[in-house]
């Protein structure tokens, strides 16, 4: 009976080991991202992305595309989120389906973290090289230390061709040209297999002895010292010394083969140039704002004052990457993602041209299923139920002015 229990325990352990090993090789395909699960206030009151452009919607393997546009670092940054003093411009994609060939903010190459200022607007560009075929959701994204990834709008991009043809050649500082996609791959496989095999040998040595139940019985009987024999100690010492020796020899061999190395660069880039936005000649005061839950619509009462020299009209409200447009004033020509574009989602009680020097109180309604689809309506359940966004006003010549708004949001359920 004791032998049977011991065999069952060993078989159970082996089955568990096989299951865990198999799970390591199971990698389900990811398509889109979990931006909908990110708190609404994070998307509304941190980074406002606008004028975005995905240069291509279909890219062959080894070809490149760019994502460019602007982002505004919101002045009323939430107190619960660390300020973007250490930030990294990134792209949200489901794994290495693209490689980033370069990224720029304010025309400056930014291969590492940058410091951004609240209330400033920056232009950016990211160059991507297609690597893996498929349909992928490609997002703008800013990683903030202490604040996590702040995900921007995403668009579906199709990569065509074969991943087997992908190459990523670079020239090192010593003049050698290598392909990063396959460089030293055989060596990588060897060391993974070597350490995996060494680990299996270590487990096999101890698995040949009685396991689990017999060992528990011995411990309970006060014979724990008898479980480790002098031979066991010698074997363990041999494994330890051998491991240290292998690591030391491998390190010496590597240093001899590659005497010139450069550490990874981890400094912080400061003084990133922002866009000098013109001072708005339009004043906006939010009198009140409500979100009507059954109608999936937000209504704002605002007083608009035109201090400029041209009549203006409200054309767009942008919040959390969702754009609500008044089709009679503004239209999208950039191929913005359909699920984030409400082309007729903005309704203004009186959107006739507002003459210079005049003020007008208007009711503005932003309605679309995106409030629920992208879970922006969850804002009404926050302890600090506030919304924020960008208003874009247009004059008769098509010139645009941007005004930021920030106000409490009260829900209504009737």
**What pLDDT band is residue 332 in, cutting at 50, 70 and 90?**
very high
- Of the listed ranges 39-43, 207-211, 310-314, the least confidently predicted one is 207-211
Q: CATH: 2.60.40.1580, 2.70.150.10, 2.30.40.10, 2.40.160.20. Which one for 282-412?
A: 2.60.40.1580
pLDDT at 341: 95
- Chain-centroid distance, C-alpha 51: 19
Mean local confidence (pLDDT), 371-397 = 90
**What pLDDT band is residue 180 in, cutting at 50, 70 and 90?**
very high
**Which residue from 33, 160, 139, 104 is spatially nearest to 273, judged by alpha carbons?**
104
pLDDT at 16: 59
pLDDT at 382: 81
pLDDT at 228: 83
Q: Examine the pLDDT at 143 and tell me if it is beyond 80.
A: yes
Q: What percent of the chain has pLDDT over 70?
A: 92
Mean local confidence (pLDDT), 137-149 = 94
Task: Tell me the CATH number for domain 35-173.
Answer: 2.60.120.570
Mean local confidence (pLDDT), 172-193 = 93
Retrieve residue 229's tokens: 């024999």
CB–CB of 309/397 below 8 Å?
no
Q: Examine the pLDDT at 128 and tell me if it is beyond 90.
A: yes
CB–CB of 336/316 below 8 Å?
no
**What pLDDT band is residue 3 in, cutting at 50, 70 and 90?**
low
Retrieve residue 404's tokens: 């930021």
Beta strands, E only, 207-327: 282-292, 297-306, 312-319, 322-325
**Per-residue pLDDT reduced to its tens digit, 57-83:** 999 999 999 999 999 999 999 988 999
**Per-residue pLDDT reduced to its tens digit, 243-274:** 999 999 999 999 999 898 888 888 899 999 99
Could you tell me which residue, 28 or 261, shows the higher pLDDT?
261
Domain boundaries, the chain: 35-173, 186-261, 282-412
Task: Tell me the CATH number for domain 186-261.
Answer: 1.10.287.710
Look-up of token digits 């991202």: 33
**What pLDDT band is residue 212 in, cutting at 50, 70 and 90?**
confident
Query: What backbone torsions phi and psi does residue 100 show, to the nearest 5 degrees?
Result: -90, 115
Biggest CA pair distance of the chain: 97
CB–CB of 392/331 below 8 Å?
no
Mean local confidence (pLDDT), 197-204 = 94
**What pLDDT band is residue 92 in, cutting at 50, 70 and 90?**
very high
CB–CB of 145/268 below 8 Å?
no
pLDDT at 402: 96
- The model's pTM is 0.82
Q: Examine the pLDDT at 27 and tell me if it is beyond 60.
A: no
CB–CB of 152/239 below 8 Å?
no
**What pLDDT band is residue 408 in, cutting at 50, 70 and 90?**
very high
Q: What percent of the chain has pLDDT over 90?
A: 71
pLDDT at 266: 84
């Amino acid at each position: 009976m004791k032998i049977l229990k011991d065999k069952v325990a060993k078989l159970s352990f082996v089955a568990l080991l096989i299951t865990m090993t198999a799970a390591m090789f199971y990698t389900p395909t990811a398509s889109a991202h979990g931006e909908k699960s990110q708190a609404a206030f994070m998307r509304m009151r941190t980074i406002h992305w606008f004028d975005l452009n995905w240069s291509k919607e279909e890219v062959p393997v080894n070809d490149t595309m760019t994502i460019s546009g602007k982002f505004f670092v919101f002045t009323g940054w939430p107190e619960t989120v660390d300020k973007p003093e250490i930030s990294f411009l990134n792209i949200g994609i489901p794994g290495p389906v693209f490689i980033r060939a370069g990224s720029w903010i304010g025309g400056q190459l930014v291969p590492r973290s940058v410091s951004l200022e609240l209330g400033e607007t920056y232009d950016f560009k990211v160059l991507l090289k297609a690597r893996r075929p498929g349909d992928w959701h490609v997002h703008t994204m800013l990683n903030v230390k202490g604040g996590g990834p702040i995900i921007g709008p995403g668009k579906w991009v199709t990569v065509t061709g074969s991943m087997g043809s992908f190459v990523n050649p670079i020239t090192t500082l010593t003049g050698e040209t290598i392909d990063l996609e396959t460089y030293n791959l055989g060596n990588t496989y060897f060391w993974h297999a070597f350490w995996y095999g060494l680990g299996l040998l270590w487990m096999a040595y101890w698995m040949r002895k009685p396991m689990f139940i017999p060992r528990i019985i011995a411990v309970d009987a006060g014979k724990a010292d008898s479980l480790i024999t002098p031979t066991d100690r010698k074997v363990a010492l041999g494994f330890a010394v051998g491991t240290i020796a292998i690591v030391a020899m491998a390190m010496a061999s590597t240093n001899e083969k590659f005497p010139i190395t450069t550490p990874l660069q981890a400094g912080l880039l400061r003084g990133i140039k922002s866009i000098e936005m013109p001072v708005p000649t339009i004043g906006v005061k939010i009198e009140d704002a409500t979100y009507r839950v059954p109608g999936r619509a937000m209504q704002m009462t605002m007083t608009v004052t035109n201090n400029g020299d041209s009549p203006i009209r409200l054309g767009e409200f942008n919040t959390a990457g969702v754009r609500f447009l008044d089709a009679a004033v503004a239209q999208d020509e950039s191929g913005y993602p359909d699920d984030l574009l409400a082309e007729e989602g903005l309704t203004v009680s009186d959107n006739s041209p507002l003459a210079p020097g005049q003020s007008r109180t208007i009711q503005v309604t932003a309605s679309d299923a995106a409030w629920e689809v992208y879970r922006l309506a969850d804002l009404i359940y926050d302890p600090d139920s506030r919304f924020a966004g960008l208003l874009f006003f247009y004059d008769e010549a098509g010139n645009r002015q941007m005004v930021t708004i920030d106000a409490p949001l009260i829900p209504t359920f009737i």
